Amino acid sequence: MQSTKKLTFWQMWNLSFGFFGVQIAYALQSANISRIFATLGADPHQLSFFWILPPLMGMIVQPLIGKYSDRTWCKMGRRKPYLLVGAIVAVLVMIFLPNAGSLNFSSRLLLGLNGAMWFGLFSLIFLDTSINVAMQPFKMMVGDMVGEEQKAQAYSIQSLLCNAGSLVGYLFPIFFTWIGIANTAPKGVIPPSVVWSFYCGAAILILCVLYTFVKVKEMPPAEYAAFHGIEMPGQAGHDVATGQGSAAVTPGGDRASKPGLFKLLLHAPKTFWTVGLVQFFCWAAFMYMWTYTNGAVAANCWGTTDPASEGYQAAGNWVGVVFAAQAVGSILWALVLPKFRSLRLAYVVSLLIGAAGFISIAFIHNQYLLFVSYFLIGAAWAAMLALPFTLLTNALSGEHMGSYLGLFNCTICLPQIVAAALGGAVLHLVGGVQARMLVIAGVLLICGCFAVALVQEHKK
């Protein structure tokens, strides 16, 4: 039985505040990567392929981060060392990535991609990986330090901060354009408005992460074991109250309690797999949103498909604005989610609202009406950020929390890989019209609603 110790609102706020900065970086990536690669010369049918390697790296890295952070007990903390390293790497990559088009890598190399696209691709791999390394510890720390009765609230606070960060990141390019920074550049070069957005995002990211790093003190091993009601290996001869005694004092500290990731996966609770199935449909849908929104908005509302045109770059700025509308919708819906008595009902309603938003985009040619569509999509995004982790962590004992959350990240990465790999082929099937890919995204969310029926809410 887990401890009934409760955290104050501000303790939960501090626990997730760094997520605000991390999500600014993630928002800049998701809203601008397709724009960046189109500017560098990528064909629309190639765009989805640029999104394959980042989640693939996430599938490799995240379970390892979870596994090894479960065993990391040092003066800095358990999860915080990984949080800090991920943030530092993300900041460095955010400085270099938007300058890919300014490095005079114009010659075609492997697979018909020029040097700038290859530089951008590897930068994207490191950016996505480092953002996930910085992001995952926040989810783990909530699982570690928040009691079951407060987890829905804690993840809702995290969702609120996450979406507030998204709002800022999405609006950066149009803000810098508004204050006079150029939104166009020579062919193949990223506009200065985007470059400065990444610079500012990097600065805010490291400041927010440092705030959480300083403010949050993670539990020592003995307190963690008592909080989660789990037995500590080597507990004989060990004083749980003081943390003194035998050397084997950490949860999962002896050989028997260190099962490999594959063994943990085999013994994962049913909730892991059922929620993972819902995740598959949801994250595949959002992969298509990130990949094809820029082209869809440019074609439907600006009547252009030329990445070098002023209209295409204006559409790129507007994508940030409508994504900000999604973030606002998500913030407001995150306040509604705790009001539902059933997490499953909240999940289904959220995904249905999001599906309606996706499908409506294909029929809208007025840029301002897109606010409604993306505001609705925000409901699905809020649910995706909070509910899966609430459902899963309630089904876990706490002994291998980080490892399971790392493995659970594969339910985020795998659907993105599948969706990206199939994106070009699906785009051909829908006649090359990028707006129709967002209809496909809506259908995927409806499939996710049916998958929610398989999920059981775990009550300890």
Looking at residue 232, the DSSP 8-state letter turns out to be P
Q: What is the pLDDT of residues 31-42, one digit of tens each?
A: 888 888 888 777
Q: Which candidate, 375, 359, 326, places its Cα nearest to that of 442?
A: 359
Q: Give the per-residue pLDDT at 201.
A: 95
DSSP 141: H
Length of the chain (residues): 460
The whole-angstrom separation of Cα 12 and Cα 230 is: 23
Classify domain 9-229+257-452 by CATH number.
1.20.1250.20
Which residues does the chain have with pLDDT short of 50?
1, 233-256, 460
Supply the pLDDT for residue 255. Answer: 44
CA distance 348 to 352: 6
Residues 6 or more apart whose CB falls under 8 angstroms from that of 404 comprise 66, 264, 268, 272, 392, 396
pLDDT of residue 105: 56
Residue with tokens 């600014």: 24
Angle formed at CA 202 by CA 198 and CA 207, multiple of 5 degrees: 150
pLDDT at 404: 76
Give the domain ranges of the chain.
9-229+257-452
